Amino acid sequence: AQSVTQLGSHVSVSEGALVLLRCNYSSSVPPYLFWYVQYPNQGLQLLLKYTSAATLVKGINGFEAEFKKSETSFHLTKPSAHMSDAAEYFCAVSDRGNEKLTFGTGTRLTIIP
């Protein structure tokens, strides 16, 4: 069975500061890993995904994530937070041969002006 743990249900950072959202996964097979963002009253938008190519993955809006197998982690970062980054962020995992996504509980990111 797969699972995802997101540390910190709420994270607050100042505008211009580094954003770091943590995600650890558990999977019995090499995983596919995803970060999705959910803005208020909107659906889930894919930020980036890891599918066994480069371990450092760049996504939209300046976000990136690094797959670290030894740490079973896929943390999301952005060098400089912007007010528009305020949203809920979900980490998700899937088996390569399995269709479904297993989501973490989400991290709500607040940007302090």
> Where do contacts with other proteins occur on this chain (CB under 8 A)?
32, 36, 42-46, 49, 51, 90, 92, 96-97, 99-106
Distance in Å, CB of 12 to other proteins, minimum: 18
Q: What counts of helices (H) and strands (E) characterise the chain? A: 0, 11
- Please, which residue, 57 or 81, has the CB nearer to other proteins? 57
For residue 8, what are its two tokens? 């910190």
Question: What CA–CA distance (Å, rounded) separates 46 from 61?
Answer: 11
- Please, which residue, 25 or 90, has the CB nearer to other proteins? 90
Q: Quick one: how far is CA 28 from the chain centroid?
A: 20
Question: What CA–CA distance (Å, rounded) separates 11 from 29?
Answer: 30
Distance in Å, CB of 17 to other proteins, minimum: 27
Distance in Å, CB of 10 to other proteins, minimum: 12
